Amino acid sequence: MLNTFHLRTFLAVVDTGNYSAAAAALHMTQPAVSQQIRALEEQLGGIRLFRRVGQRMALTHAGEELLPTARELVRLAERAEETLMALKGQVAGRVVLGCTPGGGERLLPRLLAGFREQFPGVGLELVVASTEALLDGLADRSLNLALLQEQQRRRGLESTLLAAEPLILAAPVGHAVLKQEQLPPAALCEHPLILPRSGTTLRRVIEDLLRRRGVSLADLRPCLETDSATAQLQAVRAGLGLAFLPRSCAPARGEGVGHVDLAGAPLEVAWFLVRVRERSGPGATQSLYNFLTGPQGQAIIARAGLQPPPEHPEPRPPPVER
C-alpha cells in the first residue's frame, strides 16, 4: 500500500522542482528526501519517477501517471485527518492558498497571521502565480482557495467579494504631478507609465477603468511592464515613470515615492476569494474561508485601508462556463 508520507515528498519535489527545495519546504534534509523517493520507487517495482534536466527534476512517464493519483490520495488523507480532529473539537490540516503578484502578497500575510492565532494547528502554504495558473490549481485540487482580482464565472467555481482596494498613482518625490491636488485622467498620456504585463488581470482592470474615464489606451506611453510590485516601486523611485499600485503596496512617507489622486471617482480593484463549489463539511479550508469572509478577517482588511464588502451584497448571477 502506498505511503502517504512518501507521496507528500513526491509532490513536494514536483511542486518545487528539485530535492533541495523540497527538503526546505518539508523541513527535511536532502538525503532524507532522496531516500523517501527511492523508497516510493522501490514500492512501485523499481520504476523511476524522475529524471534530471539541468538543475530540475522532471517527471518520467510513470511519474506523470502517478501525479493525479498522488494528489488525490494525499488530499483524501488530509481530509480524513481534518474530520477526525473535528470530532475532538480541534481544527487541523493544511490549506494551500494562492494569489496573484502585487497587492495580494501584501494583504494575505496579515490575514493569515490573524487566522493562525486562532487556529495554530493549521498549516498554511501561499502560492504566488498568474490567474491562469491559480485557476488550474483549483481545478486539479492542488489549491484550496485563491485570491483573485476578477470574479470567476467558470462552472464549478464560486467567487465571494472580499474587499475593494483603491489604486494609487505613484510618482517619485519631486515629480511635477505631485504638485497637483488631482491629476486629470487625460494627463496620463503625457507621462511614461509602469504597468502590469499586457493580458494580466490587473492590466485589464486598469485599462478598463481608464477607458471609462475617456482615456485613449492607444495614447498611453508604457515604459516598463512587470507584475512585481517591488520592481514597480523601484522603477518609480529611479524616475522611470508613474505606476498604478494597490494602496496596500504604497510605501511609507519619506521612502522616495509620493502619490496623487486622479480627478473623478477613485480607481479601485476588487479582491475575490475563489474556491471550488463543493461542501465538504468542517475542516481547515472551511475554517480559513469563514475567517476571511467573517468579521475577524474583515476587521483586518479594514485596518489595512481596504473597503470591506457590504453586509448584504446583491445576489450574484449564476456562473456561466467560459
pLDDT at 28: 86
pTM over 0.75: no
Which of the residues in the chain have pLDDT under 70?
82-91, 103, 252-254, 279-282, 310-322
Q: Tally the residues of the chain.
A: 322
Looking at residue 64, what is its pLDDT?
A: 93
Fold match between 4-71 and 164-269? no
Fold for domain 164-269? Answer: D-Maltodextrin-Binding Protein; domain 2 (3.40.190)
Q: Where are the domains of the chain?
A: 4-71, 76-157+275-303, 164-269
Domain 76-157+275-303 has CATH 3.60.60.10: no
Q: What is the pLDDT of residue 86?
A: 57
What is the predicted pLDDT for the residue at 318? 38
CATH of domain 4-71: 1.10.10.10
User: What is the C-alpha to C-alpha distance for residues 292 and 272, in angstroms, rounded to an integer?
Assistant: 11
pLDDT at 227: 84
What DSSP string describes 252-315? Answer: PTTSSEEEEEESSSPPEEEEEEEEES----SSHHHHHHHHHHSHHHHHHHHHTT-BPPPSSPPP
Please, are residues 82 and 23 in contact by the beta-carbon 8 Å criterion?
Answer: no
